[in-house]
Amino acid sequence: MITSLSIKNYALIEKLSIDFSKGFSTITGETGAGKSIILGAIGLVLGKRADLTSLKNKEEKCIIEAHFEIGKYNLLPFFEVNDLDYDAETIIRREILPSGKSRAFINDSPVNLQELQELSLFLIDIHSQQQTQELSDENVQFKIIDAISNNKETILEYHTLLKSYKADKSKLNELLKKLSESKKEQEYNTFLLDELVAAQLKSGEQEILEADFEKLNNVETIKESIDKALAIANEEQIGVMNNLKEIKVSLQKIASFSTDYSSLLERISSVTIEFDDIAAEMNRCSDKLINDPEQLDLISQKLQVIYNLQKKHQVSSVDELLQIQNNLENLVLELENIDEEIVVLTSSIDQNRIELDQYSEIIHSNRLQAIPVLSNKLISILETLGMPNVRFKIDVSSSETYFLNGKDELQFLFSANKGTDFGLLKKVASGGEMSRIMLAVKAILAQYSKLPTLIFDEIDTGVSGEIAIRMGEIMKEMSAEMQIFAITHLPQIAAKGDAHFKVSKSTVGDDTQSELKLLSEEERVVEIAQMLSGTIVSESALNHAKALLN
């Protein structure tokens, strides 16, 4: 439960610090006095987004701090999961800087808004008038039934399985689409692949083939040129080799006379050795040269295959063709794998469907058992709230659709008077009836919820007199199990509180400020009397106020 709230530099509040107690507390004040500001400050502590308009003084930061007693509510796992320091007296602080940036702390540890919002779900439920309207929403109605059905864990397991089921269905649809598109291209891709495989391509072979082709295609010219070179080199009288040898002999005669001559001898010796090696290599090349028209034709055919494939695939090398071949092999293999994946996914989807149906049946069965309980409890409470002939017709029926909370469809119908047909809440219930139904719902849920604090923001809209008294009594009964706050304009409800706070607005110079004050017994009598009769308090109003308080 919330034990204290301090606010600094927020909206019309310059500085405020207030303590709260357990039980039932009422908050009153004139319209525009600042009740919504208090709720707004609590909302910020619970993780709502803020902006610079929240700052009273734009040059200073806004600080809102709330203390909560959480020792009884088994929240240690939340703190451990989020790596936060746990304390039975937990402090949440929110700061809004003049720059517009916002910071949040739980027990002085910085947290993001998501963590703050997750924790707030275990701390406070703020009931607004908007929530009363949401009572007509099917999802809200399901949540009410499921709270009584104790379906929470089952629905969580169902929802986890549903996510997996939907993910598999989505993937299966993608694979089926891909398979359909791939089959159209499969024959062509297979043809291209077979064509490339048949070519038996090897990296670097094009260059080798082109070189061999040039040799075979010009074998006579090459042989003629080599043989002529050999003849010049080895001619007995005037051949190059013979001349080199004569030069070497001549230089040997004078080599000892000077280092210059000996150097020349070494160089001509090297030239002789190198030329001798060249001549030998030319001989080997000449011996290898064979006029082989068949081999030339084979090489020409293979090169033509390569050139045709390069032109078809718009590439310029065998390596690029090999990459295309690899890609086509992967495409064909992928198509084969798609069939296997489809079989696996289909099996998983079928199994998930079986389990989803099992969970849905449990959820449906629990709801069927809870509906009479909910209906009877609602009627019992609403009869005391001036609706003696109220009736509910709540039907859940199984469908073939997997919704987020099961397979059920819901009809939540209502009739307030004898002889009137059942109708949808939002169409047949008045504002006052909706307020009473919502209070009844909250009173019932309080029996199943372990929530520490519930704040009612003007749930008394559209009611008065004895009905208001009974609404106040119900909230007081609820406060035996949880901390209850009621922001109200009705003296009958304000009088039922264990503690009574008043929100007021005052003007000091050019400045307007809101304040929240715990009223003493005497102040409380005056406040309720003013709520009864207006600013000028009559003796009868005071007596009426005392009677309400007693």
Q: At what angle do helices 138-149 and 431-446 cross, to 10 degrees?
A: 30
Give me the residue spans of the domains in the chain. 1-123+451-519, 180-336, 521-550
Rounded to 5 degrees, φ, ψ at 31 are -60, 130
Query: Is 486 a residue whose pLDDT tops 80?
Result: yes
Average pLDDT over residues 49-73: 87
Q: What is the CA radius of gyration of the chain?
A: 47
What is the rounded CA–CA span in Å between residue 97 and residue 523? 37
Question: What digits encode the pLDDT tens for the residues 495-506?
Answer: 999 999 999 888
Strand partners of residue 106: 92, 109
* DSSP assigned state of 316: S
Q: What is the pLDDT of residue 201?
A: 82
Q: What is the pLDDT of residue 218?
A: 67
Q: What is the pLDDT of residue 292?
A: 65
Percent of the chain with pLDDT strictly greater than 70: 96
Mind spelling out the 3-state secondary structure of 438-475?
Answer: HHHHHHHHHCCCCCCEEEEECCCCCCCHHHHHHHHHHH
Q: What is the pLDDT of residue 380?
A: 93
Question: What digits encode the pLDDT tens for the residues 180-236?
Answer: 777 667 777 777 778 888 888 888 887 887 777 776 666 777 777 777 877 777 776
* DSSP assigned state of 422: P
What is the rounded CA–CA span in Å between residue 471 and residue 492? 9
Tokens, residue 223: 């042989």
Question: What digits encode the pLDDT tens for the residues 374-383?
Answer: 999 999 999 9
Residue type at 63 in one-letter notation: I
Q: What architecture does CATH give domain 1-123+451-519? A: 3-Layer(aba) Sandwich (3.40)
What is the rounded CA–CA span in Å between residue 232 and residue 250? 21
What is the rounded CA–CA span in Å between residue 71 and residue 75? 8
CA 423 to chain centre: 39
Higher pLDDT, 8 or 535: 8
Give the closest residue to 404 by CA, choosing from 145, 160, 151: 160
What is the rounded CA–CA span in Å between residue 425 and residue 127? 18
Residue type at 483 in one-letter notation: Q
Rounded to 5 degrees, φ, ψ at 529 are -65, -40
What is the rounded CA–CA span in Å between residue 185 and residue 189? 6
DSSP-based three-state secondary structure for 418? coil
Average pLDDT, the chain: 86
CA distances from 383 to 413, 433, 486 (A): 17, 12, 22
* DSSP assigned state of 257: G
CA 333 to chain centre: 34
Q: What is the pLDDT of residue 217?
A: 67
Q: Where does the pLDDT of residue 491 fall: very low under 50, low under 70, confident under 90, or very high at 90 and above?
A: very high
Q: What is the pLDDT of residue 211?
A: 75
What is the number of other CB atoms lying within 10 angstroms of the CB of residue 431? Answer: 13
Contact 503, 35 (CB under 8 A): yes
Q: Where does the pLDDT of residue 264 fall: very low under 50, low under 70, confident under 90, or very high at 90 and above?
A: confident
Contact 430, 386 (CB under 8 A): no
Q: What is the pLDDT of residue 408?
A: 94
What is the rounded CA–CA span in Å between residue 20 and residue 329? 74
What is the rounded CA–CA span in Å between residue 100 and residue 94? 13
* Of 155-159, 271-275, 290-294, 324-328, minimum mean pLDDT range: 290-294
Q: What is the pLDDT of residue 236?
A: 65
Query: Is 93 a residue whose pLDDT tops 90?
Result: yes
Largest distance between two CA atoms of the chain: 155
Mind spelling out the 3-state secondary structure of 43-83?
Answer: HHHCCCCCCHHHECCCCCCEEEEEEEECCCCCCHHHHHHCC
Q: What is the pLDDT of residue 21?
A: 92
Residue type at 47 in one-letter notation: G
What is the rounded CA–CA span in Å between residue 72 and residue 415? 40
Q: Where are the beta strands (DSSP E) in 261-370?
A: none
DSSP-based three-state secondary structure for 394? strand
